[in-house]
């Protein structure tokens, strides 16, 4: 009699079933984890871009005012007093994930040499029940909560 090595069909089906159960129960946690990661990344990207525009304005880069514009899936650092009248050859564009909702973002520009914003701003980012808030006060301080 020969000794055959291998797995039976029943053993394979049991392993596949166990993997399926583990996958099905971990999916909600994985999506929550990914949403939190996207939210943090988007928040950091917005704050970095705002601070970059502020630094460009403080330093008088290109002897101009700099600002930030936001669309649903796009963040734009622009040169000029407003997004409409900007010099688009200086645009720096950053993609934003679809699963993060951004509310309250109005175009903001920073005064040349002073870095003060054109107005106060409160931006709310949310994704799957999690939320972060970015505020800019009249002096240009950027706060994240």
With the C-alpha atoms ordered 58, 63, 69, 75, is the resulting torsion angle positive or negative?
negative
Could you tell me if residue 6 is inside a domain? no
Q: Bridge-partner residues for 70, per DSSP?
A: 75
Could you tell me if residue 29 is inside a domain? yes
Could you tell me if residue 38 is inside a domain? yes
Could you tell me if residue 91 is inside a domain? yes
Could you tell me if residue 39 is inside a domain? yes
pLDDT in tens, 79-133: 998 999 999 999 999 999 988 999 998 899 999 998 899 989 999 999 988 899 9
Q: What is the value of pTM for the model shown? A: 0.78
Helix (H, G, I), strand (E, B) or coil at 133: strand
Could you tell me if residue 2 is inside a domain? no
Average pLDDT over the chain, rounded to whole?
Answer: 90
Closest Cα to residue 83, out of 99, 64, 68, 105?
A: 68
Q: 61 lies in which domain range?
A: 12-144
Q: What CATH number corresponds to the domain at position 32?
A: 3.55.40.10
What order of strands is seen across the sheet that includes strand 74-79? 92-95, 74-79, 66-71, 108-110
Could you tell me if residue 129 is inside a domain? yes
Could you tell me if residue 5 is inside a domain? no
């Amino acid at each position: 009699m020969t000794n055959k090595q291998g797995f039976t069909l029943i053993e394979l089906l049991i392993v596949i079933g166990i993997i399926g159960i583990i996958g099905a129960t971990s999916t909600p946690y994985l999506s929550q984890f990914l949403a939190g990661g996207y939210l943090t990344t988007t928040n950091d990207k917005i704050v970095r871009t705002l601070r970059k525009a502020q630094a460009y304005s403080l330093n008088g880069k290109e002897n101009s005012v700099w600002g930030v514009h936001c669309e649903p899936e796009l963040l734009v650092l622009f040169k000029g007093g407003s997004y409409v009248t900007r010099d688009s050859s200086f645009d720096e564009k950053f993609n934003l994930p679809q699963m993060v909702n951004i509310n309250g973002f109005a175009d903001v520009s920073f005064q040349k040499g002073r870095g003060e914003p054109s107005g106060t701003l409160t931006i709310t980012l949310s994704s799957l029940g999690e939320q972060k808030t970015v505020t800019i006060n009249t002096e240009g301080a950027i706060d994240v909560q």
